[in-house]
Structure 1
Amino acid sequence: MTGPLVDPGSVPAWLSPLVKASDGLDWRVFSRLTPPDGDSARSAAVLVLFGEGARGPDVLLLRRADTLGSHAGQVAFPGGGADDGDDGVIGTALREAEEETGVDPAGVRPIAILPELFVPVSRFAVTPVLAHWQTPSPVRAVDPAETAAVARVAISDLADPGNRFQVHRPGTSYRGPAFEVDGLFVWGFTAGLLSVLLSLGGWERDWDHDDVRDLEWETR
């Protein structure tokens, strides 16, 4: 099941357009974020958690530890692979978010499920779960071996044209959106998803798509 889980009128007005826009989406909306190619991908989920902080609407992000075997040091949404005991993709997303950031699931209201997307590097078939942080709780890097930092990043900062550009990996055809905000460099799957969500939510501002920078980041 994909699409809204709640009545768009039951969420804050700034979040309602995104809930409405989640209805009827398929993976093609997400451009380079393609669906799995067969049965070899492992099921996973990420929690895209929207709250309201001191600087207005925000989203919860983390930076992965530099010592991890894959996606080391990269900025990501809380999430990971499904466990047998999870209650579907929502259960996976909430469990992983609690394990990685300490967020209290009791204060989180899932509001929409997006189409499953494929991450070739890790061979995960990832389902993004959108949620509203109704009752915010303290967050932190629970296990430094997995998570280096946790941050609530303002939507207005992500939408700021000065914080947006594209990255190109030399020697490849890869080109994708990226952000530099609050000391975080966001690219890859996370930046691709954020870029689409800014558009769907009506938060996107005009930015320079011709600002393309070489990606000087080791991908593992």
Structure 2
Amino acid sequence: MSGEVAQARPPTWLTDLAGRVPTIPGERFSRFLPPPEGGRRQSAVLVLFGPGVHDPTDPEATTVVITERAHTMRAHAGQPAFPGGGVEPGDQDAAGTALREAHEEVGLDPASVDVLAELPTLHIPVSSYDVTPVLAWWRRAEPQALWAKDPREVARVLQPEVATLTDPQQRFWVRHPSGFLGPAWEVDGLLVWGFTAGVLDRVLDLAGLGVPWPDAPTRDLAL
């Protein structure tokens, strides 16, 4: 199967969420919002959903793209991330930044992506970065269309199914030595936690896909 897929439209829950984004207060996404003076650098990440890897025509098999950062990086080595990075002078907006970075990092063809909405800009205190998550839909079927194009930044690309991420049996909490407690998943041997897991958790919950997981265990984060 080549480029475009039969089920090219995003699932209804995704388009409905995108339409409601302007009415959702930033506090619903995170308690870490940019300070009045802004962070020391602006950046954007691509929260990219796409058709199922094994059955692109099944809307229940929708996936999301997550990367494992290169283990040689000086900061956040080996940790989960969305494709993205810092704003550069030629970028027109947050979507432009996210798409450019995704092309550089994982070989994503920007022409195969429908940008749906820019989520509220969030602040990462530890790095003082202001990050704008860009919600998007990817119309490509082939999993091999994405790869670790820049091995200096990306170790591998993962595409977990949304159905797995909303399964209460797959959910747990991680506790950072600082006391931070946040949602997490284990995806193909990668611990998905921190900023990436927090954004995913909020997006899925606000899209109406969240399922209660009161009995989820807590794991201490080993750094």
The reply on whether 1:118 has 2:123 as its aligned counterpart is: yes
- TM (normalized to structure 2)? 0.86
Displaced runs of 4 or more, over 6 A: none
* Count of residue pairs the alignment pairs up: 207
Task: Tell me whether 1:156 sits opposite 2:163 in the alignment.
Answer: yes
Matched with 1:92 is 97
The one of 196, 199, 202 equivalent to 1:193 is 199
User: SS in structure 1 opposite 2:19?
Assistant: helix
1:57-109 Cα shifts (integer Å, max 9, x gaps): 11111000111111111111000000001111111000000011101000001
Aligned counterpart, 1:101:
106
Question: Residue type matched to 2:122 in 1?
Answer: L
- TM-score, L = length of structure 1: 0.87
CA, structure 1 residues 210+162, in 2 after alignment: closer, same or farther (shift >3 Å)?
closer
User: Is the 2:66–2:82 Cα contact (8 Å) retained in structure 1?
Assistant: yes
Counting only pairs closer than 5 Å after superposition, residues 136-215 of structure 1 correspond to structure 2 as 136=141, 138-170=145-177, 172-208=178-214, 211-215=217-221
Secondary structure at the aligned position of 1:153 is classed as coil
Deviations 1:106-147 (A, max 9, x none): 000100111110112222100011011124560000121210
Gaps of 5+ in 1: 1-9
Question: 1:26-41, aligned counterparts within 5 Å?
Answer: 26-36=25-35, 38-41=37-40
Pick aligned residue for 2:72 from 64, 67, 77: 67
Q: What is the aligned-residue identity percentage?
A: 47
Moved more, 178-187 or 141-150: 178-187
In the TM superposition, what is the alpha-carbon distance from 1:181 to its structure 2 partner?
A: 2.2
Q: Is 2:139 aligned against 1:134? A: yes
Structure with greater proportional strand content: 1
Q: For 1:125 and 1:199, locate their aligned partners in 2 and report how far apart those are by CA, in whole Å.
A: 22
Q: Name 2:4's counterpart in structure 1.
A: none
> How far apart, CA to CA, are the structure 2 residues paired with 1:83 and 1:42?
10
CA distance in 2, matches of 1:209, 1:115: 30
Contiguous gaps of at least 5 residues in structure 2 = 1-8, 56-60
Cα offsets for 1:144-185 (capped at 9, x unmatched): 121000011110111111211111123x23111111122221
The answer to whether the 8 A contact 1:51-1:133 is kept is yes
